Amino acid sequence: MITFPNAKINIGLWITSKRADGYHDIKTIFYPVRGLCDILEFVTSTTNNCYDNITVSGIPVGPDPSGNIVLKALTIMRKRVKIPYLEIHLHKVIPPGAGLGGGSSDAAFLISALNTHFSLGLSNEELSSIALSTGSDCPFFLSGTPAYAEGRGDIIRPVDYIKDNLHILLVWPGIQVSTAEAYSNCTPSPREEMLTSYFTRPPEEWKHFITNDFEESVFSKHPFLAEIKEKLCSSGAVYSAMTGSGSAIYGIFRKSPVIPSGLEKMIVYSGPL
């Protein structure tokens, strides 16, 4: 079975408190980027080996595929249901460590595909529980529709797609940002307002209200990311921000933009939002 796990961006990311369990409470809007996808394929193993095998191609994700989050999801799922050993191939197109949710998307798509392929009969609640045990933003990718998220990112409420025909330019300079490190360098700030009240405004107004709290600390360590954001704004982006804890920067445009000079080789996606 073949699936195509898609990327996401965060439109705003407020870190509101640190929790007793070590995680942080956030407020964010997860928005799918359908045009940027990995390729995930699995088949039932035909060997007598009592283990799963995964191979990875495309963008390098590390020297040891056995630590891939896809296998973590499979291990968690096997605690509830019986699944035969698998041969898995993952072709990475979504950059890792970029805030685009590629790993979480891979895991969520595998969870959903296994439930369908093997007729496991797991409910949406059970699938969400497995996804959350795998990663905080994994439950979002089970439906993949725009969502307002709170808590660890696991309290999800659907929001409408943006009605305007917008274009997105996604830039990744090859820098990988550790999520744990990014959180350790930020200072939570309680906020009573909801991002959704600003999200419904025209995108031209977002820059006045919708921020990513990670930008200050991440940009101080990687000033080039701030330069990318400035280039996108200077090229006509009505809104630009870092997604997640970085390091991908996106610009939202009213029409297909001219790619800013110097960023040509860093574009990982250019197309409809």
For residues 62-90, give the mean pLDDT.
Answer: 92
Pairing relationship of beta strands 147-150 and 24-37 according to DSSP bridges: antiparallel
Contact 38, 102 (CB under 8 A): yes
79 alpha-carbon distance from chain centroid = 26
Q: Residue 81 burial by CB count (10 A; 0-12/13-18/19+): exposed, middle or buried?
A: middle
Ordered by where they begin, the domains of the chain are 2-158 (3.30.230.10), 167-272 (3.30.70.890)
| Tokens describing residue 45 | 């193993």
Confidence check: pLDDT of 258 > 80: yes
Pairwise CA distance, residues 72 & 77, whole Å: 9
* pLDDT 10s digits, 192-219: 888 999 999 999 999 999 999 999 999 9
What residues act catalytically? 8, 137
Q: Residue 178: what pLDDT?
A: 82
* Strand segments (E) across the chain: 2-3, 6-18, 24-37, 39-44, 53-58, 86-92, 147-150, 155-158, 167-171, 239-242, 249-253, 267-272
Q: Which of the given ranges, 154-158, 172-176, 237-241, has the highest pLDDT on average?
A: 237-241
Q: What percent of the chain stands above pLDDT 70?
A: 100
Q: Residue 97: what pLDDT?
A: 86
Mean of pLDDT over the chain: 94
Contact 116, 77 (CB under 8 A): no
* pLDDT 10s digits, 24-43: 899 999 999 999 999 999 99
- pTM attached to this predicted model: 0.94
* pLDDT 10s digits, 156-171: 999 999 999 999 999 9
